[in-house]
């Protein structure tokens, strides 16, 4: 099991302006998942636009080629964090999230493995 750090991001609803917030460190993950860095968010209307730095190495400094980034969300900092979607680049938009929520927490991890398998598993 690889132990990695995940960035969590607390968002406060601000419909009037864009807000960029830095993530804070937390948690551990399973094999094939690696930490992302510099997680930021811009609140655009009711959408949350997440962006982060690409992952090029494992926690042990070994090179890695990322197949996707997995985005999880929760209405509380304690979780549970639910899978929301995946991105093949370093940005992701959670559309209309602030139409129904005042705050949202996010975890983003880099994933190495079959994207097709991920898509199949997310349907179940």
Query: Residue 55: how many CB atoms within 10 A of its CB?
Result: 22
Note the pLDDT tens digit of each residue in 53-92. Answer: 999 988 788 898 999 999 999 999 899 999 999 999 999 9
- Cα 115 to its chain centre, rounded Å, is 16
- How far is the C-alpha of 74 from the C-alpha of 124, rounded, in Å? 19
Residues near 73 by beta carbon (within 8 Å), at least 6 away in sequence = 81, 82, 84, 94, 97, 104, 105, 106, 107
Say whether pLDDT at 17 is over 50. Answer: no
- How far is the C-alpha of 4 from the C-alpha of 30, rounded, in Å? 8
Q: Give this prediction's pTM.
A: 0.71
What pLDDT score does 35 carry?
A: 67
What pLDDT score does 30 carry?
A: 53
Say whether pLDDT at 5 is over 50. Answer: no
Helix %, strand %, coil % for the chain, to 5? 10, 45, 45
Domain 6-122 fold is: Immunoglobulin-like (2.60.40)
Q: Please state, rounded to an integer, the average pLDDT across all residues of the chain.
A: 74
What pLDDT score does 122 carry?
A: 66
Comparing 17 with 9, the larger pLDDT belongs to 9
Domain boundaries, the chain: 6-122
């Amino acid at each position: 099991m690889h132990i990695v750090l995940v960035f969590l991001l607390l968002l406060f609803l601000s419909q009037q302006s864009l807000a960029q917030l830095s993530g804070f460190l937390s948690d551990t993950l399973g094999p094939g998942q690696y930490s992302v860095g510099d997680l930021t968010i811009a609140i655009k209307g009711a959408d949350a636009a997440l962006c982060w730095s690409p992952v090029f190495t494992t926690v042990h400094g070994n090179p890695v080629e990322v197949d996707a980034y997995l985005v999880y969300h929760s209405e509380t900092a304690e979780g549970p964090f639910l899978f929301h979607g995946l991105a093949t680049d370093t940005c992701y938009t959670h559309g209309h999230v602030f139409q129904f929520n005042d705050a949202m927490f996010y975890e983003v991890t880099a994933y190495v493995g079959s994207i097709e398998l991920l898509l199949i598993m997310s349907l179940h």
